[in-house]
Structure 1
Amino acid sequence: MAILKFPVLKDVSFDVKDGELVGLIGLNGAGKSTTINHIIGLLTPFKGSIKINDVTINDDVQQYKKQIAYIPEQPIVYKELTLKEHLELTMLAYDLDQKTAWQRADKLLKLFRLDNKLDWFPDNFSKGMRQKVMIVCAFLTDAKLFIIDEPFLGLDPLAVNDLLNLISERKKAGASILMSTHVLDTAQRYCDRFVLLHDGQVRTEGTIEELRQLFPDAGESLNDIYLTLAREGDAS
């Protein structure tokens, strides 16, 4: 039986600068998850390369992955581990100083109201609480690139606000952040720049002002601009 392989992504190329929050925008099936899976090393590109501070995964897989903190759309927790053990595992994986890491963890746990649940098993938490565990583990690290996939699904409004504040803090500290989201009004308020994917290709990219200038008839909002481009892409 022949297995045919067709690329989902077609010459996708963009960057995320230091201290920048880039919104990865696209309809379902546009290629957002595939792009993210390539960046975090779950998929291997047919061609081209992905670099984080000039390091590719083939150069040094450990150094490459230690620079990334990933918050998936669907929380991934270990059934056998308590919340405390999830934090300890993260500290070991990123080779963090225990004292400094626990000081940061304490603040994050209090922020997301998890400080009294260290001995609980996150596998039994609600989806929103498991999402908070993912956020705490990610922001516990000193990652250079944060990849955040649909972070607002399942979070209560207070947690959404706390997450946005954390993102702003890490941006100011120089971290690069790539965020995939369908919540376009929030993306418009907080993202510095946008990469709009359609049918596995970068349809366009730029700041909201640059997008408005490129597509003056599309509308003022990111939602209007993207819907116009998506309809144009389907019609072509």
Structure 2
Amino acid sequence: MSLEVKNLVGGYSQIPVLKNISFQVEPGQIVGLIGLNGAGKSTTINHIIGLLRPQQGTIMIDQVSLQQNPQAYKQSLAYIPEMPVLYTELTLREHLDLTIMAYKLNRQQAWKKAERLLKIFRLDNKLDWFPAKFSKGMRQKVMIVCAFLNDSNYYVIDEPFLGLDPLATRDLLHLIAAEKKRGAGILMSTHVLSTAQTECDYFILLHAGKIKAQGNLAKLRQQAGITSNQLDDIYFALTEEDRYDE
């Protein structure tokens, strides 16, 4: 059982951005998706969450594809986008109610969890606020709270730390660690390599739509051919020679 991307070719037009990429996210594993801007990270994520249809290859969650069973696929997956997407006409309370209905959660149990999450992210006194009153960081916190309402099997998290203050970043990392301990698989795209090194068990380095390297830190170091244990150094060693070929 896993989130499995196999031989994926895809993108936004007939010319593919992703060129035959394959990887897995196992239960209880945090996988870091790293790469330069334009490497294909967001395109990969958009295929996984169903915004794009693969030109070739398959994406399966616990051996079920989006095409085979859309409800089961979506029920197993939670997504935190890089840019918060909120409805201007809905209050924070109404956003949470909408999420509860979308996931078909028990309302009483879900609100009990919501109250705990709202307190963690210091939003518990803002339930009747509209998005126009929220800062970028507060909007991101709303997306985080909504995503963690459901005990999903897998989380796809795209650049989650942009706009978050240090306290919120710490709280999010604690949540991710708790979900990992529960057995959830997490795919996290991030440019914050120091955090990726600390939190991730496995890494996928995308470059120009292809997987340049993947594995744990020791395997990436071996592929880079260097002795440093720092993900920054490994990343630069693997990508430096290609920066001028684009």
What is the TM-score with the length of structure 1 in the denominator?
Answer: 0.96
Cα pair 1:23 1:180 within 8 Å, conserved: yes
Distance 1:233 1:22 in 2: 23
Distance 1:75 1:12 in 2: 27
Which one of 18, 21, 35 corresponds to residue 26 of structure 1? 35
What 5-or-longer segments of structure 2 have no aligned partner?
Answer: 1-12
Q: Higher mean Cα deviation, 119-128 or 8-17?
A: 119-128
Correspondence 1:58 to 2:75:
no
Correspondence 1:141 to 2:150:
yes
Distance 2:201 2:109 in 1: 30
| 1:217 maps to amino acid | I
Match of 2:171 in 1: 162
Q: Deviations over 1:85-131 (max 9, x none)?
A: 00000000001011110110000000000000011112431000000
Q: Secondary structure at the match of 2:39?
A: coil
Once the 2 structures are TM-superposed, how far is the Cα of residue 218 of structure 1 from its aligned partner?
A: 6.6
What 5-or-longer segments of structure 1 have no aligned partner?
Answer: none
The 5 A counterparts of 1:1-236 are: 5-217=14-226, 219-234=228-243
Superposition misfits of 4+ residues, deviation over 2 angstroms = 213-220, 232-236
Cα pair 2:224 2:237 within 8 Å, conserved: no
| 1:28 maps to amino acid | N
Q: Secondary structure at the match of 1:202?
A: strand
Q: Secondary structure at the match of 1:10?
A: strand
Cα pair 1:218 1:224 within 8 Å, conserved: no
Q: Secondary structure at the match of 1:220?
A: coil
Match of 2:7 in 1: none
Distance 1:204 1:178 in 2: 16
What is the TM-score with the length of structure 2 in the denominator?
Answer: 0.92
Aligned length: 233
